[in-house]
Amino acid sequence: MTRLTRIGQIAVVVHDLPRAVAFYRDTLGMPLLFEAPPTMAFFDCSGVRLMLSQPSSPDFDHPIILYFTVEDIQAAVADLTGRGVVFIEAPHVVARLPHADLWMGAFRDPDGNYLHVMSEVKRS
């Protein structure tokens, strides 16, 4: 039986590829793997490929939500804010897990896709 357990690539719909590449590469600091102009660019997210792509048809023009794990959510938010990211949801606890609190904060990319940073913060 086939089990789907590992994500190899995630597609994010964008409408202005150069603007999106600049945001993900320069503002978020993601390593650009390669571009396939005029409609695609690929980034490395710790072994998972992130594809920025213009929609090939209206059926593929829909939003996506990405959640990025960070070690220190407060430091990550301060750093990203310093690079021009505007958070629409300040970091806050979304769940109290047995071993830690799950914190999340949200912002959007230039195409309106929701992006989150998240961190499991051990309680003192």
The backbone torsions φ and ψ at residue 11, rounded to the nearest 5 degrees and listed phi first, read: -100, 135
- Give the model's pLDDT for residue 5: 83
CATH assignment of 9-59, among 3.10.180.10, 3.40.1390.30, 3.10.20.30, 3.40.50.920: 3.10.180.10
What is the value of pTM for the model shown?
Answer: 0.84
The pairing of strands 114-121 and 65-69 is parallel
Q: How many CB atoms lie within 10 A of CB 80?
A: 21
- Note the pLDDT of residue 63: 81
Task: Tell me the mean pLDDT in the region 14-24.
Answer: 97
Calculate mean pLDDT across residues 59-88: 93
Q: Is a pLDDT exceeding 80 seen at residue 2?
A: no
> Across the chain, what does the average pLDDT equal?
93
Selection from 87, 109, 81, 90 nearest residue 25 by Cα: 109
pLDDT of residue 56: 86
Is 106 exposed, middle or buried, given 0-12, 13-18 or 19+ CB atoms closer than 10 A?
Answer: middle
Domain spans in the chain, listed from the N-terminal domain onward = 9-59, 63-124
d(CA 77, CA 62): 26
Is residue 55 within 8 A of residue 61, CB to CB? The reply is yes
On whether the 63-124 domain is CATH 3.20.20.140, my answer is no
Residue 7: its pLDDT value, please?
A: 87
Q: What is the mean pLDDT of residues 15-34?
A: 97
- Give residue-wise pLDDT tens across range 33-71: 999 989 999 999 999 999 999 998 898 888 889 999 999
